[in-house]
Each structure stands twice: as C-alpha cells, then as structure tokens.
Structure 1
Amino acid sequence: MASLFTHAVVAVSLSQGAPPELRKSRKFWWMVILCSIVPDIDVIGFSLGIRYGDLWGHRGLTHSLLFAALLAVLAKTFTAGSAGGAEERRERQDNKERTWGSWKLALLLFVITASHGVLDAMTNGGLGVAFLSPFNPHRYFLPWRPIVVSPIGAGHFFSARGLQVLSSEIVWIWGPAALLAGILRAFHTWRKPTESSSTSLP
C-alpha cells in the first residue's frame, strides 16, 4: 500500500477544489482525512485470521468503488451538518458553500476515498485492488506502478525501508499533488474576481 501520509497529502490536494468557505470548516478537513485513510481499516483482518485475498482482506471490499461511494455519502452527511443554529444556516444560504451543492461535496469525498485504491494500484508489491468488489473479486493493478510498496505496521515503516518508500512517494505523488493543489487554488483566485465583476453588472 501507499503510506497513510501520502493518502492524506493527495486528499488535501484534491480538497483545494472545494470553495474557500468550505475549506474553513474543521469538520470538512476531518472528513477529508478520514476518507483518505479509512479503506486501510481492513489491515485488522490480518490479526483476525482473514486472508489477504479474501473479500474482507487487505485491498478488498474497503478499497472498492462501492465502499468509496457509501463512505462519501456518510461523510457528506456529517460535513454538511456542521452548521450550527438557524442564524448560521441563513448565512450559509448566501455563500458559495451552499451554491456549490451537497452532491459536489459527496463527489469530492468519493474521489478522495477512491484515490486510496488508485494509489495502492500504483505500488510495486502486494495484491491488486478489488475495485469492483463485492461483485467481482478480481484484483487490479495499474499498468504504471512507480510507487515502492509501504510495509504494514508503524514499526516497519519507521525504518530504512520506510525512508525508501517516502522518497519514492515524494517524487511520484507529493510533487504532482502539490502542483495540482496550486492549480486548483489558482483557479479559485481567478474565478473570484470574475464572479464579482459579473454580479456587479446591472
């Protein structure tokens, strides 16, 4: 698997596409990080005797697109419910977070969750990712797999092998993620004056 650090980095990068008002929400960022790492909850299966290639094994059902969709809807519900009283809800009706739409928030959280499996499918070790589970148990890898697979367990990660993994991820993931984040932030900066000028027209 890719390291949890890298999954979080990609999630934060993708989240730069959300409106600035939404990015001010602490609950939003909690949901973003959780969606990026929750798929790896399946590693507890190793201590329960669940085999790697089983439905509930590592990179199995919790790495599927179906799981990503269900988790996104659930996380969206918690995130959208971050408004406080009636006064705050009235204010939210006039800002961009409201007009952005809850379906776009769910889509963003889906992409973040699904990106976990995509990154794992780009590693050079382990089994593939069961993107279509539970309907199809086949495990998939992407044709391009430049990422050094991360060892499972904190004790193994904080070692020479872990440093090798991080070096690989910084080159192939962190760099492009930072570029993507910059592009998304620049888009919002460009879009804001454009919208302001359009709303000022008679």
Structure 2
Amino acid sequence: MPTIMSHAAVPLAGALILGRSRLSLPVIATGLLVAMLPDADVIGFRLGIAYGDGWGHRGATHSLLFAAAAALFATALLRPQRYGVAAAFLFVSMASHGALDMLTNGGLGVAVFWPFDEIRHFAPFTPIAVSPIGVSDFISGRGIKVLYSEAIWIWIPLTLVAAAFGIRKRTSKWFRQNGTAR
C-alpha cells in the first residue's frame, strides 16, 4: 500500500481540477477522508481476521462496490448542491485507494471486485514501493525509498495533470475575456 498521505493525492488533484465552484469544502474534506478510509481494515489484524480473508486487509473495504456504497452514503449525508458531481468525486476518491494499492510491489493484491470475486488483483505494472505498516518500520531507509517511489509515481504525475487542467482553465478564461475564439 502507498502511505496514508499519498492516498490523499487523488482527491487533492480532483479538487484542484474541479474547483470550488463544483465541490464544497465538506465534499473535498470527505474525499480526503474516504481516500484513506479503506486502510481502517488493518483493525482486523487485532480482531483475528486474516489478511487474505474477504474482510481482511485489501479486501472488501478496497472494492469498487464498497467505494460506490460509501460514496452514495456520504453524498446523502452531505446533501451537496451538485449531487452527481459530489458522488462521482467521492467514488473516485475512495476507489483510487484500491487502484493505488494495485500498483504497489507487495502484499496480497486487492479484492477490487469483492463480493463477486474474492481474487486479489495487482496491476500489470507495479512501480510503487509498498509502504511498511507501522511508524517504526517507516522511519528507515525503506521509508525513504517508499516516499521517493510515491513522489515519482503518484505526486509528480498528479501535480502535472492538475497543473495542465489549471493552465487550460486559465487560457480558456483569457481567450473568453479578450474576445478571441477558442
């Protein structure tokens, strides 16, 4: 799994791309929260739930169905003006957690299609170094390698995408204001 901080990268980029005119602060904050929420399944280790079980780590809480249900539930609670945009943003925010985990080079994979299929999946390309679970293991040479990997494969690409959308938005606005057709 990527670090908990890097799971916030997708909703941060999405919020920058969509802007405050489409997303309220509560929706953005909820997007950040739900992007990290699937890793709450590590509580299962203390409850005797095995890693590979359906409700184990990277199981049900990392699935597309769980992301859809959580997004709809959160959207119903938040009651935003733009219901569809908020629901889609929250779904992508939470579903991105499993997608990023599928890009890591360790663990058991992600039960992305749970409960219809409990097989754990990885992406064909797994460039992101898997993060250690626990702070003591993270503060090490391995932790630095994980952060470097996440910068290269998550933060830099998403920053470039958000910047490209921002530039496109500003140039379109400039052309509209100056009467030049675009």
Return the match for 2:148 from 167, 179, 188: 167
Hey, what does 1:87 align to over in structure 2? Answer: none
Cα shift at 1:192? 4.6
Amino acid at match of 1:142: A
Q: Which moved more, 1:103-112 or 1:122-131?
A: 103-112
Q: Does 1:129 pair with 2:110?
A: yes
Mark the CA change 1:133 to 1:152 in structure 2 (over 3 Å): closer, same or farther. Answer: same
2-structure distance, mates of 1:22, 1:149 = 34
Hey, what does 1:89 align to over in structure 2? Answer: none
Structure 2: stretches of 5+ with no match in the other structure: none
Return the match for 2:92 from 111, 121, 141: 111
1-structure distance, mates of 2:115, 2:20 = 37
Amino acid at match of 1:77: A
For normalisation by structure 1, the TM-score amounts to 0.80
Q: Does 1:3 pair with 2:3?
A: yes
Cα shift at 1:22? 4.0
Q: Percent same amino acid at aligned positions?
A: 44
Q: Does 1:185 pair with 2:174?
A: no
Amino acid at match of 1:57: G
1-structure distance, mates of 2:125, 2:101 = 11
Hey, what does 1:44 align to over in structure 2? Answer: 43
Hey, what does 1:94 align to over in structure 2? Answer: none
Hey, what does 1:92 align to over in structure 2? Answer: none
The 8 Å contact of residues 110 and 121 in structure 2, kept in 1 or not, is answered as yes
Q: Please list, as runs of the form range in 1=range in 2, the aligned pairs for 1:18-33 lying within 5 A after superposition.
A: 18-23=18-23, 25-33=24-32
After superposition, what is the alpha-carbon deviation per residue over 1:95-133, rounded to whole angstroms, capped at 9, x for unaligned?
xxx5xx311221121111111101100000000100110
> RCO higher in 1 or 2 (8 Å CA, sep ≥ 6)?
1
Hey, what does 1:53 align to over in structure 2? Answer: 52
Mark the CA change 1:186 to 1:131 in structure 2 (over 3 Å): closer, same or farther. Answer: same
Structure 1: stretches of 5+ with no match in the other structure: 82-97
Aligned length: 179
Amino acid at match of 1:136: D
Root-mean-square deviation (Å): 2.1
The 8 Å contact of residues 13 and 177 in structure 1, kept in 2 or not, is answered as yes
Q: Which has the larger radius of gyration?
A: 1
The 8 Å contact of residues 14 and 180 in structure 1, kept in 2 or not, is answered as no
For normalisation by structure 2, the TM-score amounts to 0.89
Mark the CA change 1:12 to 1:197 in structure 2 (over 3 Å): closer, same or farther. Answer: same
Hey, what does 1:75 align to over in structure 2? Answer: 74
